[in-house]
């Protein structure tokens, strides 16, 4: 197995997919990455922020429903 040069689908920059990374992805049953490490990191941060916002809404929504049931 050799290092592979892949093109990021987001920024179109080339990045190296090393043998070690290939082995790791293969052992986990993952497909090769489609984004470079930098774009993957940014995407992860964005999804983490969205998740926090959703959890905040769910907690607030849950308390509102709970309070309504107590009053009845």
So where are the chain's domains? 4-71
Instruction: Give the Cα separation of 22 and 17 in Å (integer).
Output: 7
Instruction: Give the Cα separation of 30 and 32 in Å (integer).
Output: 6
pLDDT tens-digit readout, 29-56: 999 999 999 999 998 888 887 777 777 6
Q: In residues, how long is the chain?
A: 72
Q: What's the rounded mean pLDDT across residues 47-66?
A: 66
pTM: 0.63
Instruction: State the pLDDT at residue 47.
Output: 82
Alpha helices in 1-72 (DSSP H): 19-28, 37-71
Whether the predicted pLDDT of 64 surpasses 70: no
Matching residue, tokens 């429903």: 65
Cβ atoms within 10 Å, residue 36: 21
Instruction: State the pLDDT at residue 58.
Output: 60
């Amino acid at each position: 197995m050799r290092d592979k040069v892949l093109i990021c689908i987001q920024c179109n920059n080339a990045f190296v997919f090393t043998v070690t990374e290939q082995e790791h992805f293969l052992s986990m049953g993952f497909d090769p990455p489609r984004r470079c490490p930098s774009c993957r990191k940014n995407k992860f941060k964005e999804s983490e922020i969205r998740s926090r916002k959703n959890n905040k809404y769910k907690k607030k929504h849950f308390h509102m429903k709970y309070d309504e049931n107590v009053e009845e």
